[in-house]
Amino acid sequence: MKTRSTRGNDLFKPIKLPDECLRLLGKVTDRALARRCGCANTTILKIRKRMGISALSRGTHWTADMDARLGDEPDSHLADDWGLSSSLVWKRRVLLNIPAYRSVPGVIMWSRRRLNVLGKISDAEFGRRFGMHPHTAALKRRSLGIPEYKGRYNKTKWTRNILAELGQRTDREIAKKYRIGEAVVLRKRQELKIPKLIVTKVAWNSPAVLKMLGSAPDRIVAEKLGISIHRMHVKRRELGIKRYVRELRNGIRRRLGKEPDATIAARYGLSPGSISYHRNKLGIRSRKKIAPWTAEDRKLLGTMPDYRLARKLGLNQTTVHAKRTKLGIPAYFTRPHWPKGLLKSLGKIADTELAGKYGLPVRMVGQKRRRLGIERFVAKSSRT
């Protein structure tokens, strides 16, 4: 007997925090509590607002030593050392009328916090966190004699049972059975020079295999046959078998054609393309909201993003966009505040450093620089 899938309903279940996390609401920052409870920052924010608990207002005690370092190093480096945000350090420096630090092209400031993190995370993660190339972090780590971070590969306990199955079963099966990474199993097998198990003989003409094709997603069928997903996908298309499509529940099926596809998809956590596919398969015409725009609806145009207004009115995003452009209403855009120091530093400092210094996205800084016709900063190489 087949059981009905409840995957769509699980997406809309409210998240319940443990009692320990609930007691800490408002006593620690939302970000710190989110890391401790293993959830998103917005989840903590919504639960705290729902319970009527105000956020933690933590004042920063500025010492004389901290004020003396302002301007000698970039704000982002000082923020890393003190555990504060870059914007908070920038406000303190502006309040004291201290000019910003001017970096020398090609020179990277290594703060204490950055040096302490070297070797504790991968070079790629270090580069993403501090806005530099992973090769730069690797060169600094090697110059200090710090070994490379190996992650879970160095912490995995290889028992006799695991080692005995290497080469006897596929790497994916071993990784799934013992809950370790597939790349970890691959590296250990290559280290011991054990050849991998190659499963090439698949009886494609057998009735059992043909019955499996298209009855479940290619990923699940590939795992059962012990082959790659790409090979499974190519073979299914060669045999002319259609891909597996999950059937809709009766509650969703009854709404097809009575509501717009986007509204049904947003309600049940599905994609609009999936709703449109099932509706066309059943021969049901689409239902588009062609109701006249009221004065209240027109007032909302341009006050919020098009996708958010479309979700609120139950329309498609293209419909809202077409109506707004027809009336000549500009799109909603939160224009950032561009400090004079940032505008003067465009092209003289790398975009990543400016973004971290002023707390803006790197893409936004790059777009502003190109709009002003300023070329990007290129560090002068020390090679002759």
In a domain, 137, yes or no: no
Tell me: the pLDDT tens digits for 7-59? Answer: 444 444 456 777 878 888 877 677 767 777 777 778 888 888 888 887 765 56
What would the mean pLDDT of 123-138 be, rounded to a whole number? 79
**pLDDT at res. 1:** 44
Query: Which of 326, 351, 367 finishes a domain?
Result: 326
**pLDDT at res. 240:** 87
Same domain, 234 and 262: no
In a domain, 331, yes or no: no
Quick one: DSSP state of residue 349?
Answer: B
Contact assessment for residue 181 and residue 237, using Cβ atoms and an 8 Å cutoff: no
**pLDDT at res. 2:** 43
Q: Nearest CA to 313 among 291, 284, 331?
A: 291
Better-predicted residue by pLDDT, 163 or 26 = 163
In a domain, 26, yes or no: yes
Band the pLDDT of 106: cuts 50, 70, 90. low
Strand partners, 25: 28
Same domain, 267 and 291: yes
Same domain, 176 and 215: no
In the chain, at which residue ranges do the beta strands (DSSP E only) sit? none
Same domain, 254 and 233: no
In a domain, 379, yes or no: no
Share of the chain above pLDDT 70, in %: 83
Same domain, 306 and 281: yes
d(CA 1, CA 271): 28
Contact assessment for residue 354 and residue 346, using Cβ atoms and an 8 Å cutoff: yes
List the structure tokens of 146: 């710090």
**Residue written as token pair 């959830």:** 39
Tell me: the pLDDT tens digits for 305-336? Answer: 888 888 777 777 888 888 888 888 887 766 66
Tell me: the pLDDT tens digits for 340-375? Answer: 888 888 888 888 888 878 777 788 888 888 888 888
* φ, ψ of residue 240 in degrees (nearest 5): 70, 30
Mean pLDDT (the chain, rounded): 77
In a domain, 91, yes or no: no
CA distances from 274 to 9, 246, 254, 266 (A): 17, 9, 15, 12
In a domain, 361, yes or no: no
Element (H, E) at 191: helix 182-191
pTM: 0.27
Same domain, 257 and 297: yes
Band the pLDDT of 383: cuts 50, 70, 90. very low
- Give the structural domain span for 285: 250-326
Same domain, 234 and 255: no
Contact assessment for residue 351 and residue 376, using Cβ atoms and an 8 Å cutoff: yes
H helices present in 203-316, as ranges: 207-212, 218-225, 229-238, 250-253, 261-268, 272-281, 295-300, 306-313
Q: How many CB atoms lie within 10 A of CB 174?
A: 22
Domain count, the chain: 4
